[in-house]
Structure 1
């Protein structure tokens, strides 16, 4: 083993440890904010992650940094789900499975998103545009795929779909209510091809 190899291995180990600590902090913060809201004590985040406060502030210097990271991770998970659904054979079902996750996200993560933008040094409009663009891109691909298959009305734009579904989430009385309203919207989105029963063998 060369001197360079010996020097490189500890650096790699430190980078791996740092990445693991950041992931543990993110998971702990996500759980804590879910339980107690975005004003939960940051000391408890470090305790749950099993690291010291210095490690917490090295990765996330401010509450805003941590809130933005947690919400961005939620958006990334929703987008990852959408990309996986692009492989589903039923195009309408893939779209509405993702939209169900989208309305749950809007209904349950709005407070987190507002807190993240409030505490961040980045302008609120810039943050919301970044997050919205990520979700819009996935929705657009799922919608276009369903429209090409003829299972969703061709006159619907992605802006229409997201406006109607997000409005449903924001005005509903509960997450369950939002999901029920989405099923009402579904009846207006799908074509007869998507809603027709399968042919008997």
Structure 2
């Protein structure tokens, strides 16, 4: 029987996960999550919330978002339509990869998913019109615990996978997100 594959990205628990895909004359089938399989992969996660976003146009950027303290969320992200450049930033001060930026391209038709552990900032850019992203979280969204780091902070230098001619479509909240310097200042004050 085909096996699930996991590919670590760095040392902090971030990883690409690929379930087996079963194809025949009808099309294809795959499991997108299995508690038993995730335990076997060393990821005993209990997801509590599913989220879906639709980005109408290429160039839409969402993030970089995170949840603080007990509301921190691990995520399992996949692309159901279109394509994305998924971005994860290690925001754990104790991590040897603190502030390292990781990217993974995910697209519809591929079984590839990105597992993002607690303590990472997360965002993505739509690389195609009408892009649908699905992600599970292991903690409920808590607006009081929400934070963000500016998507274009030069200290992070995120490569969003967009051409110079592509628009940068963001929410007002993401456009107003503080830079990395504000995040680091809050950390030093215990926030």
TM-score range, shorter chain: under 0.3
TM-score (norm 2): 0.26
Greater relative CO, 1 or 2 (CA 8 Å, sep 6+): 2
> Which has the higher Rg, Structure 1 or Structure 2?
1
TM-score (norm 1): 0.25
More helix by share: 1
